[in-house]
Amino acid sequence: MSDPMDMSDLIEVFFEEADEQLQHLDEGFMALERNPEDAGLVNEIFRAAHTLKGSSATMGFQQIAELTHTMENLLDMIRSGQQTVTPEGVDALLRGVDVVRQLVEKARSGSGEEVETAEVVEALKSVSGAGSAGSSTAAEASAPPQASAPIPDGCLRIEGRVAPECMMPSVRGFMVFNTLSGRGTVRSCTPGQDNLDDLQPGGVLSIDFEPSVTKEEIRAELGTICEIDIVVIDPTEKSAEAPPKAAVCTDTAGKGEAATPGHAMQTVRVGVDRLDTLMNLVGELVIDRTRIGQIEASLSAKYRGEVLVSGLNEASLHLGRMINELQEQIMRIRMLPVDQVFNRFPRMVRDLSQKAGKKVNFVISGQETELDRSILEDIVDPITHLLRNSIDHGLESPEQRKQAGKPDEGTVQLVARQEENRIVIEVEDDGRGIDAQSVKRAAVKKGALTAEAAEKMSEKDALQLIFGSGVSTAEKVTDVSGRGVGMDVVRSNIEKLSGAIEVHTELGVGTRISLHLPLTLAIVQAMLTSVGNRVFAIPLTSVVETSRCNKSDISTIEGHPVLQFRGIVLPIVHLARVFPSRHAAKDDLADITTLVVVKSNGQQIGVVVDALIGEQEVVIKSLGSFFGQVPGVSGAAQMGDGGIALIVDAPGLVSILESERSQNAA
């Protein structure tokens, strides 16, 4: 019998696989609604439901097993042609997935809260009629093999009886099949390979197998599988010969499969905390690499031509290359395709479009684009709000679209792509577009700006007002959107990720909102600058260009310094004023000023610094709870000489500038 301590690991595996199977069912039912005649798709969905039923029954989660069995009955009727795919049937199946997901979460958390399943079970049975179809499948799968059936010529019959105390009988059946894989051809089996999840403790597995290796090899390899007594019958021999059995079984399902000869492991599950620890260690190596490089440069300047210094130089270069390679590989491990997030949205769009009474063609592209796991988790809410707004506000009703000469079905696109060292995610619709004048009126009504300021504001700046808290152009509030809080969440979440938002819209044509995100938040390329005796790092993803200007070129508008720069009026922010220091010079603007032009959410500002130090890769560290959130700062980085550089947050500087403007206007 398996070690009881292994059950916690098995339950974790069950939860992970249950999440995957539920996602497959969600996607499968959505695809089945679009392609009801796809028999292969029906079989694929049936297998996912069948696997989930078997694994939940094995782990003792009977409520999950019973509900998935009811879903399986309906699917079995569909694949046998007794039932057609209908919108009502898909609705019932999707509701079943939702309830199963609740049951899985209840089991995961250990909550005693009851989950009502009677209503969805009744809905599934109502769609399938009697609801008894498919019940014979499990019975047939559990039936013992026909002992009198003749063994085909050239075949061995492999009979295995599962131990009565076996906790995961289906796993033992799969292990038998994995062992036989590549060693011949399975001619027949009872229960069928698709029904191994129904194998019960004390049940019998029978396989007629045409081997491509010797009987002795088959017997020896099957003998490594515990908790199932296997007999190999050769019709050319007078008696069956049982393979040797291991005295004690201590391997879990995962270990058993990995130990199968000739079955190489291709993937391994690794805890997220371990990846985070690895990334932190790589970050420390990057800091040390920079430090060693600085020491090597100092020694080379002082002891030029020394043999030891030359050796140190070679070792430093090699170490740098190895750390770069290690960093790149760890980054790749942390990267996940965005379809991990995107796959949950088709179901949401379907439900929202039905609730809004609109026809929506939802198109996803670029699912293979990869993004750091830590960022991937934080883009769910922003994309959710953007999609909700596109469906509820952006797209017109079918009647309105017909009157405007558009097809009654609107299109919403979710696109991901990589542009250099940034990921761009776009939500685009072919709806009514955003009226900048309506946005201005809503902002004035909310008190976000004065009527005079709204009159002077450009259309591009007005569109940024939709990200203000409480600003909404919706004519009425629905349970989907209209309260003016969703877009504020979008901006705050994207700014927290050091990202930017761009809005492109045309009245009557549609709207495209682009999210620009860094590939990772752990290590970034930055422009190092100095202000007095302090060092500030500005991420290169925010830097547009660097320049120099005369102090006389800087003027003021409403008390704020601005500069005529490349045809635009560029607001100026001096880091010495934003982050004052007792060591700062009395006159913080020299005759010749060094300027770093940064961009955030479509707005450019000039950041005045004393000098540029150069570009360098820096490791972002949190300021910690002692400092909390510091406006204009996203973190800190340890430099090679042991010093600390504050990492400038471009969106934060823009917010500081806007706040100062509002105070002066008041």
Task: Give the pLDDT confidence of 330-355 residue by residue, as tens digits.
Answer: 878 888 889 888 988 998 999 899 88
Q: Are residues 38 and 123 in the same domain?
A: yes
The answer to whether residue 575 is domain-embedded is yes
Task: Give the pLDDT confidence of 510-569 residue by residue, as tens digits.
Answer: 999 999 888 776 777 889 999 888 899 998 888 889 988 887 888 888 778 888 888 888
Task: Give the pLDDT confidence of 216-258 residue by residue, as tens digits.
Answer: 888 888 877 877 888 888 877 644 444 444 334 443 333 333 3
Looking at 187-201, 407-421, 433-447, which range is the least confident one?
Answer: 187-201
pTM of the shown model = 0.63
Q: Are residues 514 and 367 in the same domain?
A: yes
Is 318 assigned a catalytic role?
Answer: no
Residue 363 has pLDDT above 90, yes or no: yes
Assess contact for 511 and 434: CB atoms under 8 A: yes
The answer to whether residue 595 is domain-embedded is yes
Residue 106: CATH number of its domain: 1.20.120.160
Q: Which of 73, 195, 389, 601 is catalytic?
A: 389
pLDDT band at 417 (very low <50, low <70, confident <90, very high): very high
Assess contact for 380 and 341: CB atoms under 8 A: yes
Mean pLDDT, to the nearest integer, of 253-268?
Answer: 42
Residue 466: CATH number of its domain: 3.30.565.10
The answer to whether residue 651 is domain-embedded is yes
Q: Are residues 432 and 354 in the same domain?
A: yes
Neighbours of 136 (CB within 10 A): 10
pLDDT band at 632 (very low <50, low <70, confident <90, very high): confident
Residue 656 has pLDDT above 90, yes or no: no
Query: What pLDDT sits at residue 432?
Result: 92
Higher per-residue confidence, 534 vs 195: 534
Assess contact for 373 and 336: CB atoms under 8 A: yes
Is 73 assigned a catalytic role?
Answer: no
Q: Are residues 105 and 229 in the same domain?
A: no
Query: What pLDDT sits at residue 391?
Result: 93
Residue 497 has pLDDT above 50, yes or no: yes
Domain containing residue 568: 523-665
84-100: b (≥16 Cβ within 10 Å) or e: ebeeebbbbbbebbebb
Q: Are residues 79 and 159 in the same domain?
A: no
Q: Which of 291, 318, 337 marks a domain boundary?
A: 337
Q: Which of 24, 50, 393, 574 is catalytic?
A: 50
Query: What pLDDT sits at residue 255?
Result: 37
Residue 452 has pLDDT above 60, yes or no: yes
Q: Are residues 414 and 556 in the same domain?
A: no
Q: Are residues 462 and 557 in the same domain?
A: no
- Collapsing DSSP states into helix, strand and coil, what is residue 600? strand
Query: What pLDDT sits at residue 473?
Result: 57
- Collapsing DSSP states into helix, strand and coil, what is residue 424? strand
Q: Are residues 546 and 649 in the same domain?
A: yes
Higher per-residue confidence, 139 vs 154: 154
Rounded CA-CA distance 181/207 in Å is 13
Q: Are residues 277 and 175 in the same domain?
A: no
Mean pLDDT, to the nearest integer, of 164-177?
Answer: 77
Q: To which residue do tokens 């938040």 refer?
A: 521
Residue 386 has pLDDT above 60, yes or no: yes
Query: What pLDDT sits at residue 264?
Result: 39
- Nearest Cα neighbor of 587 from 607, 610, 564, 558 is 610
The answer to whether residue 205 is domain-embedded is yes
Rounded CA-CA distance 96/67 in Å is 7
Higher per-residue confidence, 292 vs 253: 292
pLDDT band at 274 (very low <50, low <70, confident <90, very high): confident
Share of the chain above pLDDT 70, in %: 83
Query: What pLDDT sits at residue 358?
Result: 92
Six-digit token pair at 194?
A: 């698709």
Residue 114 has what DSSP assignment? -
Assess contact for 531 and 576: CB atoms under 8 A: yes
Give the contacts of 250 (CB within 8 A, at least 6 positions apart).
2, 3
Rounded CA-CA distance 396/409 in Å is 9
Mean pLDDT, to the nearest integer, of 619-647?
Answer: 76
Is 195 assigned a catalytic role?
Answer: no
Q: Which of 24, 72, 221, 574 is catalytic?
A: 72
Burial of 454 (0-12, 13-18, 19+ CB in 10 A): buried
Q: Are residues 48 and 124 in the same domain?
A: yes
Residue 317 has pLDDT above 50, yes or no: yes
Mean pLDDT (the chain) is 79
Q: To which residue do tokens 């291991």 refer?
A: 246
Q: Which of 502, 518, 534 marks a domain boundary?
A: 518
The answer to whether residue 421 is domain-embedded is yes
Q: To which residue do tokens 């569909």 refer?
A: 78
Query: What pLDDT sits at residue 628?
Result: 62
Tell me how far CA of residue 436 lies from CA of 428, 456, 537, 632, in angstroms: 17, 13, 36, 29
Total count of domains within the chain: 5
The answer to whether residue 624 is domain-embedded is yes
The answer to whether residue 267 is domain-embedded is no
Residue 131 has pLDDT above 80, yes or no: no
Q: Are residues 92 and 215 in the same domain?
A: no
Share of the chain above pLDDT 90, in %: 14
